[in-house]
Structure 1
């Protein structure tokens, strides 16, 4: 139980209960029905108040940003909105507010919707970088070959690792957690972006999401991105004398946080060491230059439960845009490229892959075109769904291979990595018993 602060003279501080549980961030407040101050924020859509017909005297929309303080400290709650409310005659009223983010240890009144720096975690990033902050010594054994001693050293390999992108770095980190008889060592790598000017979180996260997309394309596995902490230069940590002494990083909790699902070693078509001196700017440039083709394909990760037909259409939308752009690069006019059939756009992409491919590219072009057209045009005969699924599978391999080659992965290295990729194996029909 603590106090809510709204930074608004028309909404007084009030007692509230903040709960962060099961992926939810919610605040419960209670008020006396005789005082309509908070009632108006919860019931305003359905109630007309005669004492304020112009809706200027009171507040009717709940602020999107609210601060909470209790004995444990202060929290900046962002993205607040009304979830529910109820009133019982003679017993009072209460309302529940949902928040998208909770920023812990933020000073009350400081606006953390705009920050100077953002720190995120990305599943699989540390493994992809090939770094570790946990060093393990050789075991010391007794005469019976039983391990008696082993030493773990926690040491970051560097303070930060550059990416070739200004104000965006990888930061190795380690942590220790103890629960009863269990001690866990956490080997971590964060991404950090910073700016001299305060910016919205979404602006900071553009580069973080670009890195997520690179790992997604490279492994064709979801790599979940989570916001870990944020910082404002004008809200540092202070000593009692009032002198700032250290940058304040405020931990962040998210509404419906992503549950980490990365739990196995992955095979990547594009590896960190493919980039010269760790300069990832070529990926950021490629992503920006071909965004109309790349973005729709990467968005397939938000369509995990969709049908095969939806997957084929979404992939084809990306191929339409990518092929159109490549045709123009090959000297075809904008009008002719725009009028080119779908199969010509596929050929423009596949032509960059060269010969000696793991599967017949010309056959794939025909199957992909047939599948796409049968879905798009109701007057076409439907294609066998297994054929469509395998055309989609090969299409994903074509797209990912095109990205890899554009980023400088050698053809021989790419062909070797493709043999280890899970999508290289065709889908087969399992006969029902």
Structure 2
């Protein structure tokens, strides 16, 4: 019986989707079908089931620009607000939220309404009349708000994190002011004795990090200005460092995914160069060195297997990576090696040997223990992959180029210095044959 009900509900929902997308229906009919769909989604917030192809929710949002009654338009706005603020950790609702954020980003007028509404809600006690008043004035009626009169220290710090994905970007001056204020407030809060993850949970800070991940690609200069200008890095604790790292982990994904889009890859390189300039202006040395791993495109978490994904690097791309690793790879060598692995070693060969040799030479200057530490680290398998792949597949190409030959031998010599027998064998074989 439950299965039969499920099938009937799904058929009905597919019929609603088809009618809204394909049929010429009246205003009242279109409004009624939208309301049925909205009511079904609202039940999901109460842990009830309502199944439909998630991507089709874009069709529901698009009805806002069709001829529907005012009440239904307000219902769509309310749904967008709920999907932005109330999804919690529900996987299905979070997936629907992704489409809501995309729609809001494409519709700045509604995004501004959601922005003002959320900002007002973050100021108020959860009193029902106040809540409904804010919804009516700012979400439904689209009234403006003088944000310069707001004391941001008295806003709900968690709610402002969710506000970051309301659909506006940092080119909006009011939005920039709120996000900048929130960023500084979070850094201060992480550094205070009052800090509690219950008040500022990871799910909330991850929303703000997700926003910045997109902004450093689409609005790089202004995004990095927000993240670096007038920021007191002496206040940074581990939470703040990890927050910044999580944002910059986007760079390796963007660089890798842009293999078939030269314009997109150049845009990513530009973002990295802006980040480099900002990072080198940090006057707290340990913070600077910690963040340098981001300039090596190092992610802060283990990513999936990319070996079956499309990949490609021009000679200019390889030179770009070599320059970054030569400058900054030595500061976080294990992360640097993992980056090379993630970007797929065989596609970076043999040019990547140049920067890796530079990195290992720097580590060798710190002494035997430093080299041994890298050899015995979790990156040992990556080292093996690099030196063996170079020997078996690129031997002739390496020997034909004096820089590559010097780099490969130098890398092996450093590993031999760390008493790595496998490197000693490969070095002998490379020189003999």
TM-score grouping bracket, smaller chain normalisation: under 0.3
Higher fraction of strand = 1
The one of the two structures with greater contact order (alpha-carbon pairs below 8 A, sep at least 6) is 1
TM-score, L = length of structure 1: 0.26
TM-score, L = length of structure 2: 0.26
